[in-house]
Amino acid sequence: PTTIYLSDYRPFGFDVISVELTFTLHPNRTRVASRIAFAPRPNGDGRFFLHGEDLKLISARIDGAPAEPDITDDGLTCAVPDRPFIWEAEVETDPAGNTALEGLYMSGGMYCTQCEAEGFRKITYYPDRPDVMSVFTVHIHGPHPVLLSNGNPVNRSENQASWHDPWPKPAYLFALVAGELHNHPGSFTTKSGREVELNLWVRPGDEGKCEFGMQALKDSMKWDEDVYGREYDLDIFNIVAVDDFNMGAMENKGLNVFNSSAVLASPDTSTDMNFERIEAIIAHEYFHNWTGNRITCRDWFQLCLKEGLTVYRDSQFTSDMRSAPVKRISDVIDLRGRQFAEDQGPLAHPVRPESFQEINNFYTATVYEKGAELIRMLRCLVGADAYSKAVDLYFDRHDGEACTIEDWLRVFEDQTGRNLTQFMRWYSQAGTPTLKVEEEWNSGVYTLIFTQSLKPSDATPDPLPQVIPIAAGLLAPDGREAVPTQVLEMTEATQSFSFEGLDARPVPSVMRGFSAPVVLESDLPVAHRAFLLAHDTDPFNRWEAGRSIARDSLLNAIRTGAAPDPAYMDGMRVTLQDDTLDPAYRALMLGLPGQSDLATALHKEGTTPDPDAIYAATEAMRDARAAHLGDLAQPVYAAHQVTEPFSPDARQAGHRALANAMLALLGRLDGGAQAARQYAAADNMTQKLAALSVMLEAGNGDDALAAFEAEWKDDRLVMDKWFALQVVASRPDQTAKIAARLTEHPDFNWKNPNRFRSVMGALAGHHPGFHAKDGAGYHLLADWLIRLDPVNPQTTARMCSAFQTWRRYDDARQTLIAAELDRILATPDLSRDTTEMLTRIRG
């Protein structure tokens, strides 16, 4: 496979003045006629190369005369005139045979497209690169009641529709949808008075699951106007729900396509977490209209330009719509679980990578989530006001352009006068920096001494110090805030910050709000953390204090078999009873570090993690906690029952989260009896699923599981939960067996990515089950990756990351995993996607 390098970037030699596409739909023989106006660029090299894959070329003409292109595996070249000309081609594609779900494909009888990153080349011959932007007109012929494309509708008659998108866009934002769909309509008036028609298109039967998504869209449109001053720019905005989709959703201009799991919701079928995720994804895709579509990426190395910024924007939106501390804590849990693990292993790469073989493999936690952290740090460094002005400048300066990270940072430099050369290292260096903190107290002067380090890696062999914004405050011994939060700007490898005029030695609270994506190492006394758990005014650090006490207690138990730390138990008791704290926040406080995160921590300190020992310690901690807090569980459970009609808002969701945390405690004491009562009485999926999960773990869930299946067998999204839950709630010695049994279920439609992930993703995420000593988990996943690869390389390759941490385990497990990796790699005709992932992982 060819490796593509950022340093090889060259602009395309032609401007694309306009694009006209005519689709004549047919399941196996769709015809696509293109009429494209090209003009040579003044300094272009004259080489006319159009991408194209899996296409049958029917005809090609230049200015009406037959052309004779040279066809290759990945496109065509052709001799063209040295002046503006019209390229016309007709190709044939096979949407029904397209199981990879990239390009034009079929899902449940409807036609749809997925073009990011490089899917448009499977639709027609075209310069399929994000820096080629043009205006598209699309005509669709087909006997379908709904025929959609980007932009505004210009013409509709029986079996035909035409669309015109006035905004120049790269081909990856092209979309087409056709089929028999039901509409859930809405409308929005923009701040300048434009009336926008909103439509949410769904498969017949899903009409009752649209209202929440429609409201989320309106909230997003309003928020982007209020907070970023960004207004919608077409007369219509369409969203379509599709069952077969490789990722969450896609921001095609004016025609967003969503995985149905990321848009359809109703109280009886969706959990509170589903609602929150759906709201965030709808916002994310909508926000791309400005950060991604109006201003796009010059090349795919700049992916974080649109994704990091848009993830950051959607996190701001969720913070405003719900609870800011809860959102921040959830994001950090996610970042540590996914991105830190990526950074620690063979898939580590900079937020802006410098090479790739298959771009689809770089839609990663590093590009998205760490990319968002960089924007957050930038805002922290320059301040909210300067951030706002710099972003306005970005929109003014670059609207309609395809940009780079350098362009993005330049607007901040121009706006603030800062030099961001050192900040750029966050984009170019791979890995998570470690930040060590020490303290000194000397005659009334308190000093914090920080040391940063970044482990050299293949991706970054000679790391240099980065700029780290350290939000820090100091607490007086009585718990008052002695020094309020200030941002210490660290630029050196080691740097000290002193505070004078203090009456007594303070307790430091550093990295408030998790102000930088680093691993904080602290030699500060353990008593500090209990103090912060009780007193910190920063909600993130208060949670962090509890979390780190829990983590250290678990790590001690794993290393030495020590009993759970009483300081943790006491802290949780106080937290649980503190009614001044948001219930959602208290529920988060009760969460324990994930078992995979514990393995990461052990590995970092040089210990080989034993998944069985980690599991045993976690279970012991849960039992001890249930025993210690058992007397509070029933009253707190009762106090947080919601009596008013169901609403998915943050307030009600918080009460349910805390009550369900209590239900889990009770499940360890009463064998799942309370959970059975909740299951029988619940009128919403959040309570049903939580109850079922507790019952399965307690061993009294079999009947409920069967009843659940009987009730929901026709609902695809609910059945995904049914499949996943059985794996998630399994005992480690049963996990692979249960997953294997589920793959034999008649509804295990493995070609559907959601269903595949519901079983295989759950298996890979079950730390002790996946890493069971006998290797059954590894073997089962490998079998299914081999089977899925020829059908859907993208989803296969993404799931390979389950193996990314393999080198941290013991020799026996490594031998088992290596054998599975080699077995997959030896599969004939393995896709480029999977080959790249496994080659990097295998090392």
- Which of the listed partners (ligand HT7, Zn ion, none) does 299 bind, with a CB threshold of 5 to 8 Å by partner kind? none
Rounded Cα gap, residues 511 and 434, in angstroms: 12
- Which of the listed partners (Zn ion, ligand HT7, none) does 276 bind, with a CB threshold of 5 to 8 Å by partner kind? none
Q: Any residues with CB less than 8 A from the CB of 15 and at least 6 apart, and which?
A: 38, 39, 40, 41
Q: Is 285 in the site for ligand HT7 (CB under 6 A)?
A: yes
Nearer to ligand HT7, 363 or 497 (CB): 363
Q: Is 550 in the site for ligand HT7 (CB under 6 A)?
A: no
What secondary structure, in 3-state letters, does 601-627 show? HHHHCCCCCCHHHHHHHHHHHHHHHHH
Nearer to Zn ion, 310 or 794 (CB): 310
What is the smallest separation between the CB atom of 780 and ligand HT7, expressed in angstroms? Answer: 25
Nearer to Zn ion, 117 or 265 (CB): 117
Nearer to ligand HT7, 252 or 404 (CB): 252
- Which of the listed partners (ligand HT7, Zn ion, none) does 246 bind, with a CB threshold of 5 to 8 Å by partner kind? ligand HT7
352: tokens are 């802006």
What is the smallest separation between the CB atom of 508 and ligand HT7, expressed in angstroms? Answer: 38
- Helices and strands: H and E segment counts in the chain: 29, 31
What is the smallest separation between the CB atom of 371 and Zn ion, expressed in angstroms? Answer: 10
Nearer to ligand HT7, 368 or 615 (CB): 368
Choose the binding region for Zn ion from 34-42, 308-316, 460-468, 502-510 (rule: CB under 5 A): 308-316
What is the smallest separation between the CB atom of 301 and ligand HT7, expressed in angstroms? Answer: 15
Could you list the active site residues?
Answer: 285
Cα angle: 434, vertex 438, 439; to 5 degrees: 155
Q: Is 363 in the site for ligand HT7 (CB under 6 A)?
A: yes
Q: Which of 139, 230, 253, 284 binds ligand HT7 (CB under 6 A)?
A: 284
Return phi, psi of residue 621, to 5°. Answer: -65, -40
Q: Tell which positions 665-684 bind Zn ion, by CB under 5 A.
A: none
Nearer to Zn ion, 272 or 307 (CB): 307
Of all residues in the chain, what percent are helix, strand and coil, respectively (each to 5)? 45, 20, 35
Nearer to ligand HT7, 284 or 327 (CB): 284
Q: Could you tell me which of 732, 513, 712 has the C-alpha nearest to residue 613?
A: 732
Q: Which of 299, 307, 439, 833 binds ligand HT7 (CB under 6 A)?
A: 307
Nearer to ligand HT7, 252 or 548 (CB): 252
Question: In the stretch 232-271, what mask flags binding to ligand HT7 with x, by CB under 6 A?
Answer: --------------xx-xxx--------------------
User: Using omega within 30 degrees of 0 as the cis cutoff, is the peptide bond preceding 818 cis?
Assistant: no
Rounded Cα gap, residues 467 and 474, in angstroms: 22
Rounded Cα gap, residues 417 and 36, in angstroms: 43
Q: How many residues bind Zn ion (CB under 5 A)?
A: 2
Phi-psi region of 399 (alpha: psi -120 to 50; beta: other; left: phi over 0): beta
What is the smallest separation between the CB atom of 314 and ligand HT7, expressed in angstroms? Answer: 9
Q: Could you tell me which of 348, 354, 347, 355 has the C-alpha nearest to residue 2?
A: 355
Q: Is 820 in the site for ligand HT7 (CB under 6 A)?
A: no
Q: Which of 302, 344, 360, 700 binds ligand HT7 (CB under 6 A)?
A: 360
Rounded Cα gap, residues 317 and 314, in angstroms: 5
What is the smallest separation between the CB atom of 200 and Zn ion, expressed in angstroms? Answer: 19
- Which of the listed partners (Zn ion, ligand HT7, none) does 538 bind, with a CB threshold of 5 to 8 Å by partner kind? none
Q: Tell which positions 792-811 bind ligand HT7, by CB under 6 A.
A: 794
Rounded Cα gap, residues 569 and 560, in angstroms: 19
Rounded Cα gap, residues 105 and 752, in angstroms: 13
Q: C-alpha distances in angstroms, 125 versus 39, 164, 230, 255?
A: 17, 20, 34, 22
Nearer to Zn ion, 196 or 281 (CB): 281
Beta bridge partners of 470: 488
Cα angle: 519, vertex 420, 131; to 5 degrees: 100
Nearer to ligand HT7, 313 or 542 (CB): 313
- Which of the listed partners (ligand HT7, Zn ion, none) does 250 bind, with a CB threshold of 5 to 8 Å by partner kind? ligand HT7
What is the smallest separation between the CB atom of 680 and ligand HT7, expressed in angstroms? Answer: 40
DSSP letters of 192-207?
T--EEEEEEEE-TT-G
What is the smallest separation between the CB atom of 370 and Zn ion, expressed in angstroms? Answer: 14
Q: How many residues bind ligand HT7 (CB under 6 A)?
A: 15
Do 682 and 711 touch, CB atoms closer than 8 A? no
Rounded Cα gap, residues 331 and 339, in angstroms: 11
- Which of the listed partners (ligand HT7, Zn ion, none) does 360 bind, with a CB threshold of 5 to 8 Å by partner kind? ligand HT7
Rounded Cα gap, residues 362 and 293, in angstroms: 19
695: tokens are 């019952």
Q: Tell which positions 106-165 bind ligand HT7, by CB under 6 A.
A: 114, 116-117
Q: Is 206 in the site for ligand HT7 (CB under 6 A)?
A: no
What is the smallest separation between the CB atom of 375 and Zn ion, expressed in angstroms? Answer: 13
Choose the binding region for ligand HT7 from 283-291, 384-392, 735-743, 806-814 (rule: CB under 6 A): 283-291
Within 140-262, residue ranges assigned H as helices are: 211-228
Within 491-610, residue ranges assigned H as helices are: 526-535, 539-560, 566-577, 583-589, 595-604
**Which residues in this chain contact Zn ion in the complex, by CB under 5 A?**
307, 310
**Which residues in this chain contact ligand HT7 in the complex, by CB under 6 A?**
114, 116-117, 246-247, 249-251, 284-285, 288, 307, 360, 363, 794
